[in-house]
Amino acid sequence: MRDRQQGAARRRRLTTGCSRIGSGLSLGVVAAGLVAASIVAAGLVAVGVVGTPSAGASTPSAGASTTAADSVSVSPTSGPVGTEVHLSGDMGPCPELPTIGGQRTAFVELVRGSGGLDQPNEWINVPVAADGSWRATFVIPSFVGGQAMTQGSPGGDVTPGTWTFDAPTCNSAPVAVGFTVTSSAPAPARFAAIAGTPDGKGYWLAQAGGGVFSYGDATFYGSLPGLGIKPAAPIVGIASTPDGHGYWLVGADGGVFAFGDAAYYGSLPGDHITPFGAIVGLTPTPDGHGYWLVGADGGVFAFGDAAFLGSGNDGVPRAALLATSDGSGYLLPASTGLPPAVYGDATALGGNTTPMPLAAPVTGAAVDPGTNGYWETSADGGVYAFGSAPFDGSLPGIGVTPAAPIMAMAAASGGGYWLLGADGGVFAFGGAGFFGSAA
């Protein structure tokens, strides 16, 4: 295991203030018609009819903070980064609402302090039913974006203190409900990432504290607790080497830890670089001789033979970096449902060109190795397919509410994908096999 050695990180960021969005992108069909989906969790197989990925969000728990006049509920109203928050409301008949793809939507956001156009925030366009009711699920993030289209805030870290959820109303200003962030670090035992083996017959799970769990034909090559190491920042990603005989862990500070035959090509702390936005993932190059790190602010850092093609630092929070099969392009999905930032030959992967209605922010994404397409997943287990990637099912689509928010996803080489919950629960769809979970 090697970490924090000196290396030659190449950190370059666009200064134009705009993401480059590829042309001719289209949103894949994600839950239209009666499509059979299978899910395997804890050894139980269930088959259901696929519905809209945003349907079936969790119901707020008892003890919610409510603004009765506007029928807005937020629960809980305090907790650390990683806390799952349920929001709901009833706007009543409201014909003035905007529509996205025929779906009526309303704007829900988490903003620092008591709000304001110049404050960092995280927002989604929540679907609103015909009767005016709406539901949303937020996972308190470690970084939020900015008002790129108004005051140009670049975003900022989510720090302990007072934050505000702005919930929609029909003909008046949004309702503000306070939320107290108690800590900027999730619990070490919280599960943060999943990576599949090259043959798709196993996977690794990684915890925020650096613990690694192996299932199926995934071999255990070590973990941070096993070495007596406490990471300086929570682990946020795990990635397999091309032959599956090793893996990398990456922390929110850009620290890289290499196990097995994974080679160390550098890290941000090793180059004395502090990322503006917390790192959210590591993506290896096709030959495994390099990797990209991506920050929640869209900053991209290239190491080894990874090519730097651009960064999405435009105030839009990003959830992942997805590379093309030849390593000559990548795209950065937005956690808010906005179009991805696209670079190099990644236009072939597809993507949405207009904002998507979301009942929960996007928390993970994965390239479909069998097509020119990719998937995104949201905190409630919704799945969205782009390009030619098939839609193989979602948790809301079969009426399942996960016990903990979905934090990541990984593609199976034989088709299908896995979703990972913060409690270590694994959900397998399509051709992805279920090999066990930590929940």
Rounded to two decimals, the pTM is: 0.83
Residue 213, pLDDT score: 98
Domain residue spans of the chain: 10-49+185-429, 65-181
**Which CATH number does 65-181 carry?**
2.60.40.230
- In the predicted model, is pLDDT for residue 152 greater than 90? no
- Higher-pLDDT residue of 122, 291: 291
pLDDT tens digits, one per residue of 360-395: 999 999 999 999 899 999 999 999 999 999 999 999
Mean pLDDT in residue range 124-133: 91
What pLDDT score was predicted for residue 259? 98
**What is the average pLDDT across 241-267?**
98
Residue 68: the pLDDT is: 35
Q: What is the pLDDT of residue 365?
A: 98
pLDDT over 60 (residue 194): yes
Q: How high is the pLDDT of residue 4?
A: 30
CATH class, range 10-49+185-429? mainly beta
For the sheet containing 133-139, what is the strand order? Answer: 65-67, 72-75, 84-90, 133-139
The stretch 337-353 carries a mean pLDDT of 93
Instruction: Kindly report, residue by residue over 19-37, the tens digit of the pLDDT.
Output: 222 222 222 223 222 222 2
